[in-house]
Structure 1
Amino acid sequence: MKYLKCLLETLEKQEELHHKDIYNYVIPSSWNTYGYKSAHVLKSKEIIVNPYSFYNYTLHSMFEKNEDQSEKLKDKNENWLKNTSIYAMNIRAHSAWDHDRDEHVSQNNLYHMHDNGTFLKSMILLPFLKRMGINTILLSSVAKLGKTSTHHKYPVKEAVYDFQSVDENLADSLVDMNAKEQCATFVEACHYMGMRVIFEYCPGKLARENVYITKHPEWFYWIQKDYLKDYHAPECSALPKNVIPHTYALKDFYQNEDVKSHIAQFRKYPKTDSFSTLKEIEDAYDITVAPFIVDQINANIPCDDDTTLFRLYEKPSSHIPKHISTEIPYMSEDTIRNDLHPGKQPIQELWDMICENITWMKDNFHIDGIFLQKPYLLSEKLQKQICKAAKRNHKDFVMIVEENTIENCSFWIEKGFDAISGNSGYESSDIWNRSFQMFAYRLKQNPCPVFAAGEYTDARRICCMDGGKKLSVLLHVMSHFLPNAIPFMLNGAECMETQPLQLSEYGDSKYLYTVSKDDPRYLKQAYLDSYAFDYRNSDLNALASILEPAEKLRQKYVWNCTPDHCIPVWFSSPKDEALGFTYIKDDSALMVVANTNIHNVISLQIHTENLFTELPFSLNDVHQILSTEDPYVHDVSFDTFRNIPLEFQPGEVKFLLFQGKIEKN
């Protein structure tokens, strides 16, 4: 805890220096978790504070009133991932606020302080996340990013300038600690609160303007600079739209004139050791690093001018036709898919660097795991090497992989990974077509844990869909009670955000128009633009108020639950708009049932014949102990067929407690 101690000492000194200074520095009232009193309350649900005094008071209060739980995390429990509840956090957006009220979220405001989020400001929000049951933080965009030509304020989060760096813009100017030290402090603060930390890592994709191009130009693909204005993913008229570049499609692909013309624009890598920027290389040689292109043929998606791809092999795959020259490395839809078409002769120094990055993260920040993104950019051999390097000397270090197809779980387990992301963030919110039910009921027998999410970073938000806030509560609460699932919450979910974080090119652009034109966030995306989440939202506590008691039940009944002690709930018909599971623990059982109709009141007949054959105890009584719509405890009665008839409000989740006595033999 050396960094955390240093931070607190620094804040104390800074408060002494600035305690008489006058500031018009505002924060949301909801950030004042520990009752800082020297504040002026505004009608806007904000308070004016002395920032040095406020952060010093809040962080000291936070660590004094919470027991140090870091030692508990050191237990070598290799199965801890199954008991996690993950919150995906982009620091820059998470704790952003217009502190000087100039209607801009800037990196250097009126007081030369950060309006954008910082490690320091995000620390004070950890107690609120913990209240919601969050015990693991997934950090994205920690490394310095490289911006080339995007029309947004920031490049995409995969546009990394240097993997072994920390973005200086995330370091708060209130304390005299650099970005790397403040990042390490944030991780220590999470551990103190009993929360683990996982870093996102996308080693296949990075910024075109990066630290490696001058040292290792052979790691990249280069094109004629003049071609940049017309650069595009080559198209093939003989193939349909959105074709994955499997071998069977490539015969037609390489016969196409647009493909041949595209390949002809690539150049040999230059000597770059005397240069320091991409522009200097462009001016000297009239060539540039090739931008990243989508991996699907005829996808009709613009290239990402800010990012590029590592060239992992000296020679490409042998599937390329003989009439195509491979003397000069080129990027096309098939050559970027190293998982489908691994090349020959790995560039070993590059592979070693990709693996060593994880060792650097572990050594410098003592993180607990990695979320590997876009694994299709890496060959299977490299995927395995990354996983092996990550777990070396740390068997409890977890590896999660971005994989949308649940059927591929077994393949990732064989490679050494512990969990996959799955596709729930794209499909589970479609409750009208029973996607959520189908996702939930298939999890019990899944070979590894899967994210249970209603939204992902590159998708639309739950709250902009039909049902909005009610749907958000339903999905987030039920995600905690699905077997073999990892509850997954995105930045801003607690604020009931409707604007997407970083909408994919495949996403419907209508989701960019979810707020009114007079809203400062109109057409903006939190992970690409200057953006502050709505911490003044009147529904800010809607999720926390139900997840706080629900998480206690989850810890008792769902944590470490074996498949044999999880029983799906039966209803009168498979067409019933409902979903539920029962978890058995000694002489009691918890049944969690949801009405997935978020518009109408419905009556359900909960069938218990399968339940009573599994209960290891004789039943004494049943009570409704918790609900998303009803704060009171109720007796629960059976009908003459020993089924449970209950009425549910729209989108309501009910928690029923079965209690009994284990009969002695």
Structure 2
Amino acid sequence: MVRQNKLEAIRAFIAGRRDSAVAPIWIPSLWNVCGYSRAVEEKNGEICVHPYDFFDTHLNYLLERSKDYTFQEKTNLDDSVIYSSLVRYSTAWDTNHDGEIESGTFLRLLLLLPMLKQMGVNILYMLPINRYSTLNLKGDIGSPYAVQSLFHLDPNLHDPLLDGLEGLTIHDELSALVEGCHLLDIKTVVDFIPRVTAKNSEFIKENPEWVYWIKNEALDGFAPPPIPELGFFEECTPDKLETVYRSEATAGFLSHFTQPPNVLNPALWEQLKARSIETGEELLTLVEQEMGITTSPAHSDWINDVQPIWTDITFLRLYEDFSPQVRPYLQPDQAPYVLFDTIKCNYYPAEKPNLALWDKLIEAVQFNIDTYGIDGFRIDIGHVLPTPLLTSIFETITKANPNAILISEDLFNRNHKKAAATGYNIMLGSGWNVMTEITKDNLLGYLQELPDLSIHIFACSETADTPRITSRGGVDLARMIGVFNHFLPNAIPYVTTGYEVNEVQPLNCGLADNTSGADIPRAFFNKMTIDWTNGNPMRLLLEQMTAFKKAHLALFRPEHFFIAESPADVIVYGYRQGEESVIVCCNLSNEATVSVDLASIQPGISSYVVSIDSSITGEQPGQRLAAAQLSPNQAIILYHNNLEVQ
């Protein structure tokens, strides 16, 4: 198929089958944004529908809705909401009620787009959608970050409803999703993984020297060396290099590494490659069995980090030599290795770039742009890439799309100037970390940073790598902190898939884990569904906040922002321009009702109209108040306009 009109080709195929004799399927009622009225049955938050008839109705509804929007080349980040989707999970469902969860697909994600648009979403950020490895599985389906190929998509994201559409590829299905997004003026961003690859990466077949290798006997208990001379979770800065390399355990760790198989025994390597092609046996397994070596598991770049190693991925070898800064500490025959400093190629570049690998990574970026029309990228651990490589990646992206969205994974607001200077326009930031402990001091410190940021950050209390906010304090806390996050300066409301229905189960808990290491299902590794049948979803609150913000968008500027004095356990911030004011008032206590004297917030304003109430009952909107009684974990949005009062 040619790139254009793949969505139309799919729509026509589905329309041609709407009267076909196929079994009905069950889907969540919330997905029925199009108002489909021919459900066979409805119960317990689900509807039973004829699949082709339903999808035809929905796609026609999507096309009709598109008339309300014009695709904007440049994204207004002050008027944006990001939705983060793990595609295989966002629309996973037991559609046949046979106890088997079916993977989410690109086609099914089209069902969510009108609902996302109502929530204000204009950036769909997809976690890895590439083909990933099932070797050394984590959980029952494996991690999407164990990317095996940058040029192939996860085959599970193909929708069986499209079987029989001649010439269709899974690449076309992603292109159709991108087209659908663009019809509703939603940009598409994908995760790009340039620093690590699956342990049995597709690269290994032709270029085993592009990754790192260790002896088999080192695999059991493999971990970076402890550095007792240094503290917990310390960054490997140049002043610590000698301490790291002189520490007792480091020499033993370095001795685990070995040359790649094509260097160790070129003839045997070629034999194993030929055997793998002929028999279909896993090449890495053959190397392990016949040569006694394997690819090195990846680990954190932080010294004395407690995170476990990542057994399903390995680092890409971006340089052919060692950094001059560490050569004095190495033996002459040292094999290529990974340690805290070698991971951070931005700080410790060597002198011989692996240019063939760099070219392949840049080619993969161009492939995403040319094949799917992707609008931007989140660069996975991009802050540790060699500066020249990252610059080349950015130049490739911005040459194709000067308005591309470029997201940094940097976890600290303090690095905002560096991220902006590098070329990013959004960064993750530290909100998720601040909100692991929701106290007044933490939130005030966070608020004070925001107006002066050089780059927009995610406004969120949870990400795909953290526990759910609902698991920390329940639905009321999630709704209150959702209000707090929605109106922050230089911050973009960020919705982790499932947040809109108060999902409790996490995608992952790699950051700020509150499970004490419990073996619980996680969508990164296990076949799971979002609780789309939740009776009190967050979605309507998100829609209300989006509508209110759009109605007063000019007011929500950093230069109009202020933080007000407030009682204990209450946060009050707001915006004022001329005759208009908006106040965000949040009770952080989960136990006490708090009284707030609204007349004391700003001189000359004695009362405000309640515009939004985070409580599920939402009884206060429309009332004019001079004082507010905030229930535990309740937030309200207050509005005042002097002209209206007069």
Normalised by the length of structure 1, the TM-score is 0.87
Deviation of 1:581 (Å): 1.1
Q: Which residue number in structure 2 is paired with residue 21 of structure 1? A: 22
CA distance in 1, matches of 2:563, 2:298: 47
Q: Is 1:341 equivalent to 2:327 in the alignment?
A: no
Match of 2:551 in 1: 556
CA contact (8 A) 2:18 2:52 kept: yes
| Alignment equivalent of 1:601, drawn from 587, 593, 596 | 593
Q: Report the equivalent of 2:265.
A: none
Q: Distance in 2 between matches of 1:560 and 1:582?
A: 6
Partner of 1:67: 67
The separation in 2 between residues aligned to 1:423 and 1:569, in whole angstroms, is: 19
Q: Does 1:472 align with 2:466?
A: no
Deviation at 1:508, TM superposition (A): 3.6
Match of 1:537 among 516, 523, 534: 534
Please say if 1:374 is aligned against 2:381.
yes
Distance 2:484 2:237 in 1: 38
Change (3 A) 1:622 1:291: closer
Distance in 2 between residues matched to 1:505 and 1:563, nearest whole Å: 29
Amino acid at match of 2:155: E
Correspondence 1:175-190 to 2 at 5 A: 175=162, 176=165, 177-190=168-181
The alpha-carbon deviation at position 550 of structure 1 amounts to: 1.9
Provide the aligned length of Structure 1 versus Structure 2.
619
1:122 aligns to what?
Answer: 109
The Cα shift of 1:333 comes to: 2.4
- Evaluate the alpha carbon distance shift between residue 313 and residue 159 of structure 1 in structure 2; reply closer, same or farther with a 3 A threshold: same
Alignment of 1:19-418 (within 5 A): 20-23=21-24, 25-67=25-67, 69=69, 71-74=70-73, 77=74, 80-105=76-101, 115-175=102-162, 176=165, 177-271=168-262, 274-275=273-274, 277-320=283-326, 321-325=328-332, 327-418=334-425
* SS of aligned partner of 2:53: helix
Look up the equivalent residue of 1:558 and give its one-letter code. Answer: L
- Aligned-partner Cα distance in 1 for 2:57–2:64: 11
Counterparts in 2 of 1:151 and 1:360: CA distance versus 1, 3 Å: closer
Whether the 8 Å contact between 1:571 and 1:606 is mirrored in structure 2 is no
* Whole-angstrom CA distance in 2 between matches of 1:317 and 1:372: 23
Cα deviation digits, residues 528-578 of structure 1 (max 9, x gap): 1000111111112xx2222222212212323685433x23142356x4512
Conserved? CA contact 1:355–1:390, under 8 Å:
no
Distance in 1 of aligned mates of 2:307 and 2:518? 17
CA shift in 2, pair 1:635/1:509, >3 Å? closer
2:280 corresponds to which residue?
none
Distance 1:444 1:608 in 2: 23
For the structure 1 residues 537 and 635, does the alpha-carbon distance in structure 2 shift closer, same or farther, using more than 3 Å as the test? Answer: closer
Cα distance per residue 1:324-360 (max 9 Å; x no partner): 3364211222222223322221111212222232222
SS in 1 for 2:439: helix
2:8 equivalent to 1:5: yes
The residue type equivalent to 1:399 in the other structure is: L
Matched position secondary structure for 1:599? coil
Match of 1:120, as an amino acid? L
SS in 2 for 1:302: coil
Q: Which residue of 2 aligns with 1:110?
A: none
CA–CA separation in structure 1 for the residues paired with 2:603 and 2:322 = 57
Shift of 1:145: 0.6
How far apart, CA to CA, are the structure 1 residues paired with 2:478 and 2:620?
22
State the match for 2:266 in structure 1. none
- C-alpha displacement at 1:502, in angstroms? 1.2
SS in 2 for 1:657: strand
Decide which of 610, 624, 643 is 1:624's aligned counterpart.
Answer: 610
After superposition, the C-alpha distances for 1:474-509 in whole angstroms (9 at most, x for unaligned) are 122222211111111101112211122111176243
How many angstroms apart in 1 are the aligned matches of 2:330 and 2:563?
61
Q: How far does residue 608 in structure 1 lie from its aligned partner after superposition?
A: 5.9
Deviation at 1:292, TM superposition (A): 0.8
Asked if the contact 2:501–2:539 (Cα under 8 Å) also holds between the matched residues in 1, the reply is no
The C-alpha deviation readout for 1:157-176, integer Å capped at 9, x for no partner, is 32111112211110101113
Q: What is the CA deviation profile of residues 368-420 of structure 1, one whole-angstrom value per residue up to 9, with x for unaligned ones?
A: 21111212431233333322222124221121101111111111111111121
* Aligned counterpart, 2:561: 567
User: CA, structure 1 residues 407+567, in 2 after alignment: closer, same or farther (shift >3 Å)?
Assistant: same
Query: 2-side partners of 1:190 and 1:40: how far apart?
Result: 29
Cα contact 1:557–1:583 (8 A) shared by 2: no
Tell me the SS of whatever aligns to 1:213.
helix
Cα separation, partners in 2 of 1:431 and 1:508, compared to 1, 3 Å? closer
Q: CA shift at 1:589, angstroms?
A: 3.5
Change (3 A) 1:248 1:633: closer
Give the CA deviation at 1:609. Answer: 7.4
CA offset at residue 253 of structure 1?
2.7
Match of 1:439 among 440, 446, 450: 446
Following superposition, the deviation at residue 583 of structure 1 comes to 4.5
State the AA in 2 paired with 1:590. Answer: V
RMSD over equivalenced CA pairs, Å: 2.6
Partner of 2:347, secondary structure, is coil
Normalised TM-score (structure 2): 0.89
2:624 to 627, 633, 636: 636
Classify 1:413/1:180 alpha carbon distance in 2 versus 1 (closer, same or farther; 3 Å). Answer: same
User: Percent identity of the aligned residues?
Assistant: 23
Residue 633 of structure 1: how far off its partner (Å): 4.8
Going from structure 1 to structure 2, the CA distance change for 1:125 and 1:611 (only over 3 Å counts) comes to farther
In 2: Cα distance, 1:344 partner to 1:506 partner:
37
CA contact (8 A) 2:375 2:401 kept: no
Amino acid at match of 1:469: V
Q: Which amino acid aligns with 2:536?
A: D
Residue 520 (structure 1) aligns with:
none
Q: Which range moved further: 240-249 or 141-150? A: 240-249
Helix, strand or coil for the counterpart of 1:371? strand
User: Partners of 1:68 and 1:645 in 2: how far apart?
Assistant: 40
Assess, with a 3 A threshold, how the Cα gap between structure 1 residues 377 and 215 changes in structure 2: closer, same or farther.
farther
In structure 2, C-alpha distance between the alignment counterparts of 1:241 and 1:621, rounded to whole Å: 50
Shift, 1:257, TM fit: 4.6
Structure 2 CA distance for partners of 1:608 and 1:37, relative to 1, 3 Å: same
1-structure distance, mates of 2:598, 2:184: 39
Could you tell me how far 1:511 is from its partner in structure 2?
A: 7.5
Q: What letter corresponds to residue 540 of structure 2 in structure 1?
A: S
- 1:576-591 equivalent positions in 2, closer than 5 A: 577-584=570-577, 588-591=580-583
Q: Which residue of 1 aligns with 2:470?
A: 463
1:567 and 1:611 in contact (8 A); partners too: no
Whether the 8 Å CA contact 1:580–1:594 is kept in 2: the answer is no
Q: Distance in 2 between matches of 1:463 and 1:511?
A: 18
Listed as ranges, the gaps of 5+ residues in structure 1 are: 106-114, 514-522, 613-618, 638-643
The one-letter code sitting in structure 2 at the alignment partner of 1:533 is: I
* Corresponding residue for residue 640 of structure 1: none
CA distance in 2, matches of 1:237, 1:650: 45
